[in-house]
Amino acid sequence: MVSSGTGSDLQAIKTTAKKQGNSYVINGQKTFITNGQAADLVIVVARTGAPGAKGISLIVVETAGAEGYRRGRNLDKIGLHASDTSELFFDNVTVPPENLLGNEEGSGFVQLMQQLPQERLSLAIGAVASMERAVKITADYTKQRTAFGKPLIEFQNTAFTLAERKTEAMIARVFVDWCVERLVAGDLDTVTASMAKWWCSQKQVETADECLQLHGGYGYMQEYPISRMFIDSRIQKIYGGTNEIMKVLIARSL
């Protein structure tokens, strides 16, 4: 979980876990924590040492009955309403030393980096599924909806738009499937995962937007699935590392 104000800059973590006697004492706050309202076991990214990556550790906190632990508000998002997103607060929360994740302090940054490619690939997979679904429901809608005496799908603009989006969804699917193969083989690198996360999430947003447009006014109604897909797609370019950060990581490989 990320410190408030940190975002993609993991080295700027401000939450601390200081050794006092035979315990860690955690102080700080976290925001944008998925399932924070329900979680009773959280892994806290905290600073146990000097500034920089080497001073970061992961500490496991069992929240039930933990003195000084407090859940903040359930944040009011514009989308993804089925999943709560919360603020969490730690005020002198004490945990035993065995709650340190790993064999020694200072391993947290490396532990986080090791899992980022998998996380970013999972977001790309979700993006592909969303693209495919958007094209399917929009094709079905435009076959049924008529204008000027014929189905919308028979207008060239409609057909060409869906043809383009179906093609991009297929390209994304092939690329993501290849990335999955690399992950299973143990050689999915950060740059490739960043490419998948950036490109697929960008295309997901574009696809949802154009498919909503083809629904006309009905696409703006929340009772239609495409409207929720449009709203929910927007966060894909932000979490798991913003798409701007993805481009920075890709550019470093040039």
Give whole-number Cα distances, 111 to 43, 69, 104, 133, 172, in Å.
12, 24, 12, 34, 28
> Which burial class, exposed, middle or buried, applies to 152 when counting CB atoms under 10 A from its CB (0-12, 13-18, 19+)?
buried
Structure letter (DSSP) for residue 216 = G
Number of H helices, E strands in the chain: 5, 8
The shares of helix, strand and coil residues in the chain, as percent rounded to the nearest 5, are: 50, 20, 25
User: What sign has the CA pseudo-torsion 57, 73, 123, 204?
Assistant: negative
Structure letter (DSSP) for residue 76 = -
Q: Which residue has the tokens 């996380």?
A: 119
HEC letters along 84-152: CEEEEEEEEEEECHHHECCCCCCCHHHHHHHHHHHHHHHHHHHHHHHHHHHHHHHHHHHHHCEECCEEH
CB 190 within 8 A of CB 117: yes
Give me the half-sphere count of Cα atoms (radius 13 Å) on the Cβ side of residue 16: 10
Query: CA geometry: angle at 239 spanning 235 and 240, to 5°?
Result: 140
Cβ neighbours, 10 Å, residue 178: 13
Examine the residue annotation and report whether 119 is marked as an active-site residue of this protein: yes
Candidates 87, 105, 119, 181; catalytic one: 119
As annotated, the active-site residues are 119
